[in-house]
């Protein structure tokens, strides 16, 4: 009998160990995701919030994910469905998600909608919501109770973590294929209506002052502190102890710091529970942005926002990264705020738009990002889904090449819209000028008043004079570093200047130096082992007689470009 028990324990251990194939690999400067022993980028989508509650909806989401060319689905695991009655657990919804994902060969990122979802405690079970004496609410300065569970209540945490821990154990026992590859803890945590909780439990904690552990972290990481936090601490005298107001100043932004610290402490406890079951699985939290000039309490304040990253890193060191949910303009600026040496980039939620696949190309090429997932992709129009599928499948085919480049500075990304149409990169003696396709005059939509679509792509350096260019709606030219950037801004439809007056004068000085030409431009497909297969060769009109490399706005391509020097 003991031998059979030992065998059973061994099998269970191997099952959990096999599940641990999902992990992060620390590179310099990027951090990569590894799934089933191979580098993996999440080209996925997040479902609508309530889709997990109905098997038919799950079927729709998985089918549409396949039609988008996704490899991963982000979908909620909701407390109200898992524990409808206190102490009684039902994992039917989770089993259905994993089963259907397996059928479509999709990976899953589970989003724990526990104590908070978009600040509110709306996905908590009804028995939890109704018992406000046992599970107290956050309150405003005026004492108004909010539909937000208090992060300072041990009873709130115990109920939340009990359900979460049971969910983790169930996944470990049943998901033997390793379908679930990452976990999001809660969703868009933050205070609304006020910058901090003023309930009795919160006030008691606030009166204790700034914890020594936070001060230690700030001192240890002075050089990398977010400028906003560093300036705030310096303005108050960089005190080493004291009340929150004494150390950071007496305002609502200090209230936000206090709440961020305590939300972080709460999530850290959940993260430690997850680590007991899955030692390596990536864990993260997501944030609703502090945009449009709003102040703390007007946006979900104290969440894992960029200006609070140091507070969250100090309070929740077990988390692997903080992630932004993006719905506002300024995509590249928001991304840059999170793509930091101490914070790998993953965008779990972004507004569903035609430019989504271009955005994925950009963040993977520029930052080696873990991935990107448009929200409510299941509602996208079919025609747009077909466009996304083409780009997503081509991007996924680049994984073998991208894997060899991670952390080596061999890639860059491009992202363009009507407000940002040009990017110049100087590297290793080569100037690469990338532009929006509509900077060329040959497509009538460039000049007829049509809205310029968001476009983008990436470039991979194979050797000093050999590159892969992939994406949609981009034009690239190559010159030696130090050359003037070619404008191409006043060409006629025949490809030549509109008039004699448009010709720039070079003066009487003689030309010195080399130029770069296109040796060959081939559209290619990438095999699973990373080898390139030629589809067609571009030249003549398709390269403006050897002047540039381009991909139109209506499709995605992968181009193999070889350069040469001449003088």
Going from N- to C-terminal start, the domains of the chain cover 39-207+254-392, 411-498+510-566
The tens digit of pLDDT for each residue in 41-91 reads: 999 999 999 999 999 999 999 999 999 999 999 999 999 999 999 999 999
Q: Which residue has the higher pLDDT, 29 or 74?
A: 74
415 SS3 class: strand
- At 97, the pLDDT band (50, 70, 90 cuts) reads very high
**pLDDT attached to residue 17:** 42
Residue 187 · residue 116 · CB < 8 Å: yes
Distance CA 265, CA 319 (A): 11
- Between strands 31-35 and 23-26, the pairing is antiparallel
Does the structure show a pLDDT above 80 at 28? no
**pLDDT attached to residue 21:** 81
- At 502, the pLDDT band (50, 70, 90 cuts) reads low
CA dist 308 to 232, 260, 336, 338, Å? 12, 7, 15, 11
**pLDDT attached to residue 500:** 57
**pLDDT attached to residue 507:** 52
DSSP letters spanning 458-469 = EEEEEETTEEEE
Distance CA 433, CA 440 (A): 14
The tens digit of pLDDT for each residue in 451-498 reads: 999 999 999 999 999 999 999 999 999 999 987 655 545 666 566 666
Nearest to 171 by CA among 115, 84, 93, 72: 93
Q: Which residue has the higher pLDDT, 486 or 392?
A: 392
Span 539-556, mean pLDDT?
A: 96
Span 260-270, mean pLDDT?
A: 98
Lowest mean pLDDT among 217-231, 314-328, 397-411: 397-411
Span 531-552, mean pLDDT?
A: 97
Average pLDDT of the residues of the chain: 92
**pLDDT attached to residue 405:** 87
Helices (H), 83-238: 92-103, 126-130, 154-174, 200-206, 212-220, 227-235
Distance CA 227, CA 307 (A): 8
Topology at the third CATH level for domain 411-498+510-566: Chondroitinase Ac; Chain A, domain 3 (2.60.220)
Does the structure show a pLDDT above 90 at 4? no
277 SS3 class: helix
Q: Rounded to 5 degrees, what angle do the CA atoms 151, 156, 162 make?
A: 125
The tens digit of pLDDT for each residue in 362-391 reads: 999 999 999 999 999 999 998 899 999 999
CA dist 96 to 53, 83, 102, 110, 320, Å? 10, 16, 10, 13, 28
User: Hey, what CATH class is 39-207+254-392 in?
Assistant: alpha beta
**pLDDT attached to residue 509:** 60
Give me the percent of the chain exceeding a pLDDT of 90: 86
């Amino acid at each position: 009998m003991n031998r059979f028990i030992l065998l059973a324990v061994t099998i269970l251990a191997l099952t959990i160990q096999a599940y641990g194939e999902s992990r992060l690999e620390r590179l310099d400067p990027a951090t990569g995701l590894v799934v089933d022993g191979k580098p993996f980028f999440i080209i996925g989508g997040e479902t609508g919030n309530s889709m997990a509650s109905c098997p038919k909806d799950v079927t729709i989401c998985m089918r549409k994910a396949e039609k988008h060319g996704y490899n991963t689905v982000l979908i909620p695991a909701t407390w109200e469905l898992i524990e409808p009655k206190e102490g009684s657990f039902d994992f039917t919804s989770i089993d259905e998600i994993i089963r259907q994902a397996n059928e479509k060969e999709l990976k899953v990122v589970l989003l724990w909608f526990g104590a908070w979802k978009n600040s509110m405690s709306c996905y908590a079970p009804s028995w939890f919501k109704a018992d406000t004496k046992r599970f107290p609410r956050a309150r405003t300065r005026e004492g108004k109770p909010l539909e937000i569970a208090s992060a300072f209540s041990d009873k709130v945490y115990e109920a939340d973590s009990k359900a979460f821990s049971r969910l983790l154990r169930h996944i470990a026992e049943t998901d033997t294929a390793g379908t679930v590859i990452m976990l999001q803890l809660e969703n868009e945590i933050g205070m609304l209506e006020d910058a901090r909780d003023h309930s009795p439990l919160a006030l008691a904690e606030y009166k204790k002052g700034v914890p020594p552990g936070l001060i230690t972290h700030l001192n240890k990481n002075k050089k990398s502190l977010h400028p906003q936090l560093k300036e705030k601490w310096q303005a108050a005298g960089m005190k080493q102890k004291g009340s929150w107001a004494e150390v950071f100043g007496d305002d609502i932004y200090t209230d936000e710091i206090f709440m961020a610290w305590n939300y972080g402490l709460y999530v850290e406890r959940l993260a430690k529970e997850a680590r007991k079951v899955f030692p390596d699985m990536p864990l993260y939290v997501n944030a609703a942005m502090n945009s449009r000039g709003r102040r703390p309490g007007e946006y979900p304040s104290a969440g894992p926002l960029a200006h609070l990253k140091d507070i969250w890193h100090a309070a929740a060191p077990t988390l692997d990264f903080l992630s932004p949910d993006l719905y506002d303009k300024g995509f590249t600026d928001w991304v840059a705020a999170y793509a930091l040496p101490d914070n790998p980039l993953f965008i779990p939620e972004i507004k569903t738009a035609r430019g989504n696949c271009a955005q994925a190309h950009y963040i993977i090429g520029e930052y080696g990002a873990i991935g990107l997932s448009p929200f409510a992709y299941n509602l996208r129009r079919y025609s747009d889904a077909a466009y996304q599928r083409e780009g997503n499948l081509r991007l996924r085919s680049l994984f073998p090449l991208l894997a060899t480049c991670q952390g080596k500075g061999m890639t860059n990304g491009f992202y363009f819209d009507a407000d940002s149409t040009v990017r110049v990169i100087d590297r290793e003696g080569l100037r690469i000028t990338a532009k929006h396709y509509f900077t060329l005059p040959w497509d009538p939509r460039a000049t007829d008043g049509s809205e310029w679509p968001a476009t983008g792509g990436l470039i991979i350096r194979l050797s000093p004079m050999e590159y892969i260019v992939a994406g949609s709606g981009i034009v690239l030219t190559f010159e030696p570093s130090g050359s003037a950037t070619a404008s191409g801004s006043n060409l006629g439809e025949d490809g030549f200047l509109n008039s004699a007056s448009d010709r720039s004068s070079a003066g009487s000085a003689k030309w010195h130096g080399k130029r770069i030409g296109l040796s060959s431009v081939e559209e290619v497909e990438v095999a699973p082992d990373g080898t390139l297969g030629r589809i067609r060769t571009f030249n003549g009109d398709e390269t403006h007689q050897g002047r540039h490399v381009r991909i139109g706005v209506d499709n995605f391509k992968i181009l193999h470009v070889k350069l040469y020097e001449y003088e």
